[in-house]
Amino acid sequence: MKTIKLLPRPFRIVGLILVSFCIFQFVRDPEVVFGETSILGSKIESNWKAKVPSLFVEEKGEFFFIKMIENDISNEILLTLMLLGTYFIAFAKIKEEDEFSYQLRMEAMSQAHLWNGILLLLANWLFYDGIFLYAMIWGLFSFLLIFSFVFALKLSNQRNLAES
């Protein structure tokens, strides 16, 4: 059976640091996700502005396909760091990595897929307008976070059973 290649164990700590930083920034100012403010404060005074390619642009009622625009990229950086952090947490090796932990990992992944689908379905019917957009952004990371949580629970339960 071909197994997935996992990251070295220290990546888990790096992932926890990245996710903690991103969650702190989001709790401090939820509008940073939508680019209304910058990571370090005002969007107007931001040091994070850069010329970036945009797939679709609307300027003065005209639509353009692929155009360079000036944008505060702090929210893109924050979302990228959050996604990298959740991948690092989810796919870092544990102390005793073997076939059994691989099986637990696959079970946790299937359960996370189920729970994530249920949560997104509920969000579809319970959240509207701006809150729905927050829910969909949460959906970017929820699968990996749920997977990490379920996998940790399964590992903990197995260790407790082994000790008894």
The Cα–Cα gap between 143 and 121 comes to: 13
Burial grade of 94 (CB within 10 A; 0-12, 13-18, 19 or more): middle
* Predicted TM-score of the model (pTM): 0.79
- Picking from 98, 48, 56, the residue whose alpha carbon sits closest to that of residue 74 is 48
Q: Per residue of the chain (164 residues), what is the pLDDT tens digit?
A: 567 789 999 999 999 999 999 889 888 877 776 666 666 555 556 677 888 888 888 888 888 888 888 887 888 888 899 999 999 999 999 988 888 888 999 999 999 999 999 999 999 999 888 788 888 888 888 999 999 999 999 999 988 988 87
Burial grade of 120 (CB within 10 A; 0-12, 13-18, 19 or more): middle
Task: State the sign of the Cα–Cα–Cα–Cα dihedral 60, 66, 69, 75.
Answer: positive
H runs (alpha helix) in 42-128 = 74-90, 99-126
**pLDDT (tens digit per residue) in 10-32:** 999 999 999 999 889 888 877 77
| In the chain, domain spans | 1-46+73-93, 96-164
